[in-house]
Amino acid sequence: MALINEHFLKLTRSYLFSDIAKKVNTFRVTHPRQDIIRLGIGDVTRPLPKTCIEAMHKAVEELANKDTFRGYGPEQGYDFLIDAILKNDFAPRGIHLSASEIFVNDGAKSDTGNIGDILRHDNSVGVTDPIYPVYIDSNVMCGRAGVLEEETGKWSNVTYMPCTSENNFTPEIPDKRIDIIYLCYPNNPTGTTLTKPELKKWVDYALANDTLILFDAAYEAYIQEEGVPHSIYEIRGAKKCAIEFRSFSKTAGFTGVRCGYTVVPKELTAATLKGERIPLNKLWNRRQCTKFNGTSYITQRAAEAIYSPEGKEQIKETIQYYMTNARIMKEGLEATGLNVYGGVNAPYLWVKTPKGISSWRFFEQMLYEANIVGTPGVGFGPSGEGYIRLTAFGDRNDCIKAMKRIKNWL
C-alpha cells in the first residue's frame, strides 16, 4: 500500500483564485448582461516584446536544422543568458556574482516552492503578512508549517509579521530568532517597498541570528523611485544570508512563456544538525541536476533578448503602460475617499475597505454593485483582512472605466 504525504491534507480547502472564479461565475450566470471588469488576478495582458518574438522564431529555426539543433541544455541555464543577467541585472548595481551562482528556471513560483527541498523540515519559518500564498503552502506540504490554528488562520510553526497601514507596511524585526524568513519586495499583494536602510535591518538581523532570507524580487522591474533596492545583494553581507528569486513574468510578459532565475551565492551556508556548515549553492545545484532538466532553449533565447537595447526599450514601454494604469487607478480611488497603498513601485494597489467592512464583503459588493472583480486581501493572510487588492495589469480603457464606476458607486 502506498501511503500519501498527509501534510497535503492540511492545506486549506481551496485556492483563493478558484473561490473568486466561482463567485464571479455565479454572478455571470445570474447577471448575463453585465459587463465585468477584472482587476483581480495578477496576470499580464500586453503582448511579448517584439524582440523576444524574433529571438524565439530564430531559435525555432535553429532547432529545425541538423547543424544548429540543441537537445538537453545545462540544468543551470545557458551561458548566454546567465552572462546577460550578470552584466545587466547585477554589475551596474555594483553586485558581482559568478555564473555558477545563477540558476535559470521556469519561473519564480517553482523555485520559491522548491527551495524547501534543501532545508530541514523542522526549521522555523517567518513571513510578512499578508503574503504570496506559495511560501506558506509549500511549507505546509512538507510539514514545516506545523498545524493550522483555526481561530487565527495561522500555522503553528510560522511567525507572522503583520504589514498594515498602522505600521506603514514595514514589518517589525522579530524579537526572537527564526531560521528562514521570506521577504518579497516590491510586495505582492500590498504593492509596498522597503528602503535600503529598512532592508539592511533585515540583513543585519539575519547575519546576527544565522537566519536564511528567501528574497522574492519578482516585481523588481516596476521600481520607479530612487532609494528602493532592486536586489537584496545591494546590502552588504546579504550574500552570506540570502537567496534571491527573479522572474521574467512581470518584467517582460513571460507568464505564459515561463522563465526566471534564482541566485544562490557561494558564500551562503547553512548547518547540519552537528553544526557543519554546508554551501547551499552546492545543495541547490545537486537538487536541480536531479529534478530539473533546464528551461527550453527557445525560452532562454527570448529571455536573453530582453537585455538587448531594443528589448530594454520595449519592456520599459510595457511597464510604463501598467504603471500609468496604476497611477490612474490610485488617483481615481483616492478621489473617492478610499485609502490606497502601493501602486508607485509595483503594479498592485492595496485598498482599505471603507467602514471596516470585511475583504470578502467588499469584494462581493464591488462585484454586484460596480461589476468589478478585485482580490479579497484576507486571501493573502490574516493581516490582509479589511483590504482588497487591485492590479494594474489590465487594459487602459478598462482601468478608466472601472474608476468611473467606483466613483459613481461610492
| Neighbouring C-beta atoms of residue 192, cutoff 10 Å | 21
- Cβ proximity to ligand PLP, 218 vs 370, nearer residue: 218
Q: Does 191 bind ligand PLP (CB under 6 A)?
A: no
Q: How far is the CB of 70 from ligand PLP (least distance, A)?
A: 23
Query: How many residues belong to the chain?
Result: 410
Stretch that binds ligand PLP, among 104-112, 284-292, 301-309, 339-347 (CB under 6 A): 104-112
Please tell me the distance from the alpha carbon of residue 385 to that of residue 219, in angstroms, as a whole number.
23
Residue 410, judged by CB atoms within 10 A of its CB (0-12, 13-18, 19+), counts as middle
| Residue of this chain nearest to ligand PLP (CB atom) | 107
Closest CA to 262 of 282, 279, 247, 249: 247
Q: How far is the CB of 147 from ligand PLP (least distance, A)?
A: 25
Closest CA to 251 of 323, 325, 301, 326: 323
Q: Which helix (H) or strand (E) holds 372?
A: strand 372-373
Q: How far is the CB of 221 from ligand PLP (least distance, A)?
A: 12
Q: How far is the CB of 210 from ligand PLP (least distance, A)?
A: 25
- Cβ proximity to ligand PLP, 269 vs 341, nearer residue: 341
Q: Does 348 bind ligand PLP (CB under 6 A)?
A: no
Please tell me the distance from the alpha carbon of residue 392 to that of residue 397, in angstroms, as a whole number.
12
- Cβ proximity to ligand PLP, 106 vs 364, nearer residue: 106
- Cβ proximity to ligand PLP, 132 vs 360, nearer residue: 132
Q: How far is the CB of 42 from ligand PLP (least distance, A)?
A: 5
Pick the binder of ligand PLP from 126, 260, 294, 381 (CB under 6 A): 260
Q: How far is the CB of 250 from ligand PLP (least distance, A)?
A: 7
Coil, strand or helix: which one is 299?
Answer: helix
Q: Does 255 bind ligand PLP (CB under 6 A)?
A: yes
Pick the binder of ligand PLP from 183, 184, 228, 298 (CB under 6 A): 184
- Cβ proximity to ligand PLP, 127 vs 370, nearer residue: 127
Q: How far is the CB of 38 from ligand PLP (least distance, A)?
A: 15
Spatial CB neighbours of 69, under 8 Å, sequence gap ≥ 6:
62, 63
- Cβ proximity to ligand PLP, 184 vs 203, nearer residue: 184
* Contact letters for ligand PLP, residues 10-49 (x by CB under 6 A): --------------------------------x-------
Please tell me the distance from the alpha carbon of residue 339 to that of residue 356, in angstroms, as a whole number.
12
Q: How far is the CB of 388 from ligand PLP (least distance, A)?
A: 16
Spatial CB neighbours of 6, under 8 Å, sequence gap ≥ 6:
none
Q: Looking at residues 216 to 235 of the shown chain, list those that interact with ligand PLP (rule: CB under 6 A).
A: 216, 218
The terminus-to-terminus CA distance of the chain in angstroms comes to: 58
Q: Does 188 bind ligand PLP (CB under 6 A)?
A: yes
Q: How far is CA 48 from CA 55, 108, 255, in A?
A: 11, 18, 10
| Neighbouring C-beta atoms of residue 20, cutoff 10 Å | 21
- Which residue carries 533546464 as its cell? 294
Please tell me the distance from the alpha carbon of residue 362 to that of residue 370, in angstroms, as a whole number.
11
Residue ranges that bind ligand PLP, judged by CB under 6 A: 42, 107-109, 112, 132, 184, 188, 216, 218, 247, 249, 255, 260
